[in-house]
Structure 1
């Protein structure tokens, strides 16, 4: 499977009934068995609870990972037990778009701290998740694939914060200046085609 295949699963996470979590919450995921193995995908912001998680930006300290975005961490931890039960120690690829990408990174963080890191993580249009570089050090051995389409502004916030890996730039900008049009998962899929 390639990045586009995982982006299609990220897109599906918006329209499918969640296998884990509540549809009206920020904390939900779909679980798919693919030719690449088990995939857990988290959708991005599409309701009020998601926006609350996005704007709960105060950093919280996680032993071994440094400081991370409290809203993203809380959204992950609300479903961490059933997600980890669904994985049951199997190799898993974590996938997400926007808020879902941030939740996938929080899941990767907890899994790595517990000694069972994910096989890979695919993040499309991820916001920054940490004000320091400790999380990048923790996840250095996990295959992280972070994508930014065009001139999307979401991967550039919060200002001054860090991504846990280098970001791959894809696609042509919809507008000649930073924008949110480039953020749409459909544009990401088009850029990866």
Structure 2
């Protein structure tokens, strides 16, 4: 599958009924073949998780965004009961959840092959998660479309970072950081053009 195919899967995670988690919760996922996809922020519970920028120290995963970690933990048990996926995919908040899921799988000795994270917010304040994914051979693909602001947040209080480098795609809709470039449809269009 191509990055565009995985972006289309991330888009379907928004419209397909979740197989893991509840529609109104901050974390939910769909399963397609050997991939698990997480939708991003599209309800109040997601917004509350996004805005919980406190930190939590999780053994062997590092210092993480508390809202994303708590959202992930709400569906951790059913996710871990599934066969190990080849790929974890997500957009926006779902990208953060896909990264955390890959880290937890690594700790369980069940590393996925790849993570496709489209427009991911920052999930940690140290390099523990990134080092864990790298040590387990997980290929991490992080995409930022145009001048999307979401991969730059959160910004305050802590030295937030991604577990790998961002790959720039697309042409900015505006010459400054914005949310127009964030939408999954724009990500798919950018990947279609490349």
Short-chain TM bin: over 0.9
Aligned length: 187
For the structure 1 residues 104 and 152, does the alpha-carbon distance in structure 2 shift closer, same or farther, using more than 3 Å as the test? same
User: Any stretches of 5+ residues in structure 1 without a counterpart?
Assistant: none
Question: What's the CA shift for 1:91?
Answer: 4.0
Aligned residue among 71, 77, 80 for 1:81: 77
User: Any stretches of 5+ residues in structure 2 without a counterpart?
Assistant: none
Moved over 3 A (4+): none
- Matches of 1:91 and 1:74, distance apart in 2: 22
2:41 matches 1:18: no
Aligned to 1:8: 8
| Length-normalised TM-score, structure 1 | 0.94
2:126 matches 1:127: no
Aligned to 1:181: 180
- Matches of 2:130 and 2:30, distance apart in 1: 26
After superposition, where does 1:114-193 map in structure 2 within 5 Å? 114-140=108-134, 141-159=137-155, 160-193=159-192
2:64 matches 1:68: yes
Question: What's the CA shift for 1:26?
Answer: 1.0
Question: What's the CA shift for 1:64?
Answer: 1.3
Structure with greater proportional strand content: 1
| Length-normalised TM-score, structure 2 | 0.94
